[in-house]
Amino acid sequence: MSVAAEVLPILMAGLPLIALGVALGVVAGALPGFGASNTLIILFPLTLTMEVNSALIMMTGLFVGVRFGGAMPAILINVPGTASGAVTALEGFPMSKKGLASMALGVALLASVVGSFASGLIAITAAPLIARLALEFGAPEIFALAVFSIIMVGQIAGDDRFKGWFAGAAGLLIGSVGVDPMWGTERGTFGFFELYDGIPVIAALVGLYAVAEVMEMAQAERHRMVDALETVRIGFAERAKGIFSGARYAIRKPADLLRSTAIGSLIGALPGAGANIASFLSYQQAITFSPNAADQAQFGKGNPRGIVASESADNACASGALVPMMSLGIPGSSSTAVLLLVMSAHGLNVGPRLFVENTVSAYAMLGAIPLAALLLIVLGFGASFVASRLAQIPRPVIATVITIFALAGAYAARYMMFDVYLALGFGLLGYVMRREGYPPQAMLIGIILAPVVEANFFVGLRMGFGSPDIFFTRPVSMAIWMIMIASIFYIARKQKLARDRIETEAR
């Protein structure tokens, strides 16, 4: 109670700073290739002039806002602002094409608020327990989780699971380009020094989604007439009503919200796992627990339940990632690494002693999460209302804007023109994949998780003294493999029932 008495005045006085952080996060998340880490780096010199608690709660607000910000371009133009937003694009963009962009934004907003708020409360009350639980996940368990994510995305992202698995495997192969982390040898760089650090994820993301989408738009002249009609039909009141209806839809799915929040909070606490795994696993679980075959058949075609699952898990994961960073001193992502630098620069003893020596600062940071989530309701609604207008802009204009911002985002990630050319190459690849039925989402998750898979595979082999048995004999990893196998057969069966039902209705 004494700690709460000290923390509450800090949070109340810092509400404007939390709101500023949320607003900056929403804007940063909406810009492809920008993200939380770049924004934190830009703001780092500013934080050095601020009082420690003020700096931390503002950065926490940014952490909350950036996850929802990434959902907006994913829904509206099929260009995820963050890598984990690729899951939201699976359902959000089809809804946008149906004229339901406002509803999709409302679903994403409410799911983001619930995910952040609930995971913030979990972090406040159970941070030490979550940290100890995270220690049970070693390299074999994280390796199994990463493989689980790739397998599940390959199965559910397209109509043919074998094409999905092939795309995921191709993504793993592409993601292995660069310098071998074990032996320091070059792999697949073809002499380009720009590839020594591996394939830049932002270039792959921009290419597979944004550039490929522009190529699709170039062949869809008929959308011009549709867009013109939507501009007349969707007005001020209709957009606001759509956002509210989406929020109501999400709140009526408590099981999806709570399940995905729990998954996101737990996986966020695993160092190196990340929001990408959490979003895809939550999306897979939403399909697994779909109430009927008809509902499951709608996934990938604009099912709002997919947005509920991905956004709540994504936001919960961001909050969960603060737990190992604060309690163990282990950053789970580039953005938490920058935040760790901010805390260290202010003299905080990040690690097991943080909650003992800097109790007020630690709990002020965690307490800012649910407050930022509540502020996101207002700020997110305003951003959604403005952004939903984009769905009514003619496709040629949208295509031009996408191209400019996407290629600028690819360049801004490392300030290299090489990344722009790489994004164009991935765009052509993504366009061909869409035409042939290979899901780009599976390739993207393979590229993202390739370093995680490789690093944890070699660490696991060292733990097992060269034997791969350790990946299948430890209790947690063995449970993950069993769940994965059961999910493959369960989803395959439900997909078959859905296809049979559709064929029966067609006859």
pLDDT tens for 262-298 read: 888 888 777 655 666 777 778 878 877 777 766 766 7
For the segment 355-359, the average pLDDT, to the nearest whole number, is 74
Q: Which pLDDT band, with edges at 50, 70 and 90, does 372 fall under?
A: very high
- Residue 179: strand pairing partners: 186
pLDDT score at 110: 93
Distance, in Å, from the CA atom of 260 to the CA atom of 502, rounded to the nearest integer, reads 29
* pLDDT at residue 77 tops 60: yes
Position with higher pLDDT, 228 vs 383: 383
For the segment 63-91, the average pLDDT, to the nearest whole number, is 79
Position with higher pLDDT, 255 vs 130: 255
Q: What is the per-residue pLDDT across 129-145, written as a single tens digit (0 to 9) for each?
A: 666 666 667 888 888 88
Distance, in Å, from the CA atom of 106 to the CA atom of 26, rounded to the nearest integer, reads 15
Residues 439 and 151: beta-carbon distance below 8 Å = no
User: For the whole model, what pTM was predicted?
Assistant: 0.74
Helix (H, G, I), strand (E, B) or coil at 186: strand
pLDDT score at 19: 92
Q: Residue 265: CA atoms inside 13 Å, Cβ hemisphere, count? A: 25
Distance, in Å, from the CA atom of 90 to the CA atom of 262, rounded to the nearest integer, reads 22
Q: Residue 382: CA atoms inside 13 Å, Cβ hemisphere, count? A: 10
Position with higher pLDDT, 70 vs 234: 70
Distance, in Å, from the CA atom of 63 to the CA atom of 78, rounded to the nearest integer, reads 22
Q: Express as a percent the part of the chain with pLDDT over 90.
A: 8
Out of 3-17, 144-158, 161-175, 382-396, which region has the weakest mean confidence (pLDDT)?
382-396
Out of 166-170, 377-381, 488-492, which region has the weakest mean confidence (pLDDT)?
488-492
pLDDT score at 68: 87
* pLDDT at residue 389 tops 80: no
pLDDT score at 502: 60
Mean pLDDT across the chain, nearest whole number?
79
For the segment 135-156, the average pLDDT, to the nearest whole number, is 79
Residue 112's closest CA among 78, 151, 81? 81
* pLDDT at residue 466 tops 90: no
The packing angle between helices 274-288 and 304-320, to 10°, is 140
For the segment 439-467, the average pLDDT, to the nearest whole number, is 85
For the segment 212-236, the average pLDDT, to the nearest whole number, is 57
Position with higher pLDDT, 48 vs 451: 451
Out of 94-108, 191-205, 214-228, which region has the weakest mean confidence (pLDDT)?
214-228
pLDDT score at 151: 84
Q: What is the per-residue pLDDT across 27-70, written as a single tens digit (0 to 9) for each?
A: 887 776 566 666 777 777 777 778 888 888 888 888 888 888 88
Residues 58 and 371: beta-carbon distance below 8 Å = no
Q: Which pLDDT band, with edges at 50, 70 and 90, does 157 fall under?
A: low
pLDDT score at 229: 39
Position with higher pLDDT, 272 vs 13: 13
* pLDDT at residue 346 tops 90: no
